[in-house]
C-alpha cells in the first residue's frame, strides 16, 4: 500500500529537519515543494508531499501514518 503525507511549516531549518527525518524513515519526496506567504504572520511557509510503500494491511483512518510499517 502506498501512503501519503503532506509536511508543512514555517520556512526554516525546523521544516528542513522535519523533511529530512521523514526521508530517513523511508518516506520519498513526491512532487516539488510549495511555498506561500502567510500574510497574517508575515512569514513564508512551505510544504512537501512525501509517500511511502508499506506492507499490505488494511487502511485505518484512525492510525497515525507514521505508525504504518
Rounded Cα–Cα distance for residues 66 and 20 (Å): 14
Three-state DSSP class for 35? strand
Q: Is residue 40 domain-resident?
A: yes
Q: To which residue does cell 503532506 refer?
A: 6
Q: Is residue 64 domain-resident?
A: no
Enumerate the H helices of the chain as residue ranges: 13-24
**pLDDT value, residue 38:** 94
How does pLDDT run along the chain (69 residues), one tens digit per residue? 999 999 999 999 999 999 999 999 999 999 999 999 999 999 999 999 999 999 888 889 999 988 888
Q: Is residue 60 domain-resident?
A: no
Q: Is residue 30 domain-resident?
A: yes
β 28-38/2-10 pair status: unpaired
Q: Is residue 33 domain-resident?
A: yes
Q: What is the span of the domain harbouring residue 50?
A: 2-54
Write down the pTM of the prediction: 0.85
The domain tally of the chain equals 1
Amino acid at each position: 500500500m502506498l501512503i501519503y503525507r503532506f509536511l508543512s511549516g514555517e520556512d526554516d531549518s525546523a521544516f528542513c529537519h522535519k523533511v529530512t527525518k521523514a526521508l530517513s524513515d523511508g518516506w520519498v519526496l513526491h512532487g516539488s515543494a510549495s511555498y506561500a506567504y502567510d500574510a497574517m504572520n508575515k512569514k513564508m511557509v512551505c510544504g512537501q508531499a512525501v509517500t511511502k510503500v508499506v506492507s499490505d494491511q488494511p487502511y485505518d483512518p484512525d492510525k497515525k501514518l507514521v505508525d504504518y510499517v
